[in-house]
Chains A and B, each alone.
Chain A
Amino acid sequence: MLAATAIAVIRQHSLFAIVMLFGIYSLLSASIFVVLDAVDVAFTEAAVGAGISTMLMLGTLVITGHHERTPKHGPVLPLVVVMLTGAVLVWGTLDMPPFGAADNPVHQHVAPRYIEDSPQEVGIPNMVTSVLASYRAYDTMGEVIVVFAALVGVLALIGIREQKSPRPVSTTDDKPPRPVLQVMAKLLIPYIMIFALYVQFHGEYGPGGGFQAGVIFASAIILYVLTFGLDDAYALVAPSVLRPLAALGVLLYGGTGVVTMLMGGTFLNYSVLADDPVQGQLYGIIAIEFGVGLTVATVMMLIFYAFISRGEKAA
């Protein structure tokens, strides 16, 4: 089914249909991740793939137009290249370990330690969170910095147009232009935000964490932008507020590391944060997950603002 959707994505010429199909593709792959036991990943994929990235692509299509011309050269040469590469890769898989076997090499090195010791060492049941935020905290910090750097790149490339567009006053005091949508959105947005906070602070016990929470929180604001327009959204959360917050999230993450160093531990070793090492781990994880959530949420909102304000200018 995933393969069928992928084919449909490639065959379509209307870019609008492609983007919509790509959202379906993401949702399908999220359900496959659930089947493969990766609940945290499925969560992220559903929020990011089916939500944010679809919105970003639509925002781009507004500017670039949504029809594609048929390519000038034929499909034969690329098809041959692809077939050859695929055949070599399939040949390579013949030596790969079988799917799902518990004694595969991938399960031999550090994974048993994570699985057996992390509930005691870090003190939280969700192993994905303890690996993400504690054992491999350096990695995660790198990822957060990459997300932040992508934001800097987007702002440098297209920027955010902040001045309000001149529009007639009469639209504001009359009845709202899209009553059903706006009332529904007003009902939904608080629940989305509460859910995001739940995902943020319950990430140690169930699936969830800063990355997912940030994306869900951003999607609440994006819903607001879509139903109420950009000017009202600026009044709610101005980009000038979000920009320092995005940096603050990264600072919080790195700052936690520096604090652990000042308290005599190594960088990002949270055990020194409290008298009880396990309690210290918990404090550290909550702090950096909050940093991650803050950065991801603000970065997603700012990128969305950038695309939408550019689109309004073009229109």
Chain B
Amino acid sequence: MMLDFFDLYNYWVVIFLMMAGFYTLIAYDNLIKKIIGLNIFQSAVFMLYISVGKVSGGSEPIAADNIELYSNPLPHVLILTAIVVGVATTALGLALTIRIKEAYGTINENDIVQMNRDAEAEKAQEWGRE
């Protein structure tokens, strides 16, 4: 049983991080905090890929003369590009947040939903009058 624990240990760390990100995403109203939650979630996925690619006793995948066993280079490639794409999409999310702040004066999701509702109710009243 003890052996089992260390066999699957990496997955459990990943799941813990992923759930921490998920919790941040659904439990908080602040949009920036939500973006950070998404980033933690994302980094958990990175961690999963990289840990799956590891071979015990293997070396980093750069060919050298006296090394026989290498870790799997494929997950590294996928995650390497994913990190850079991740920061680009994070920037896009932050840009959206800035526009939301300028349009609504707040980045609290509940406030935004409330303001939208108020605006719609007002519009409905105006229609009713006409």
Contacts and interface: CB of A to CB of B under 8 A. Distances in A.
Given A3-B13, A100-B55, A211 B8 contact: no
Contact of A306 (B77, B89, B95, B110): B95
Interface string B33-75: 1001101100100110011111110111111100001111111
A252 to B, nearest CB: 17
B79 A37 contact: no
A52 B18 contact: no
A81 interface: yes
A207 B61 CA distance: 9
B82 to A, nearest CB: 8
A63 B110 contact: no
A60 B32 contact: yes
B69 A102 contact: yes
Contacts of A79: 23, 27
A60 B54 contact: no
Given A10-B20, A127-B70, A158-B98, A147 B84 contact: yes
A140 B21 CA distance: 27
B12 A93 contact: yes
B84 A38 contact: no
B112 interface: no
B10 A64 contact: no
Interface in B68-100: 69-92, 94-99
Nearest to A210: B84
A39 interface: yes
Given A63-B101, A64-B98, A127-B63, A38 B79 contact: yes
Interface residues of A, number: 97
A15 B30 contact: yes
Nearest to A131: B77
A154 B95 contact: yes
B74 to A, nearest CB: 5
A99 B9 contact: yes
A255 interface: no
Contacts of A166: none
Nearest to B108: A69
Contacts of B69: 102
A101 interface: yes
Interface residues of B, number: 81
A106 B75 contact: yes
Given A29-B46, A96-B11, A127-B61, A68 B99 contact: no
A15 B58 CA distance: 40
Contacts of A209: 80
Contact of A71 (B12, B28, B96): B28
Contact of A106 (B36, B52, B91): B52
B94 A307 contact: yes
A22 B46 contact: no
A299 B88 contact: yes
A82 B22 contact: yes
Contacts of B36: 9, 18-19, 22, 57
Contacts of B16: 3, 6, 86
Contacts of A206: 62
A199 interface: no
B8 A158 contact: no
A272 interface: no
Interface in A137-162: 139-140, 143, 146-147, 150-151, 153-154, 157-158
14 contacts: A29-B46, A32-B50, A37-B53, A37-B60, A40-B80, A45-B46, A56-B87, A57-B36, A71-B27, A99-B8, A100-B56, A127-B63, A131-B74, A146-B85
Q: Which 3 A-B pairs have the closest CB atoms?
A: A100-B56, A98-B7, A150-B88
Interface of B: 6-13, 15-24, 26-30, 32-33, 36-37, 39-40, 43, 46-47, 50-56, 58-64, 69-92, 94-99, 101-102, 107-108, 110
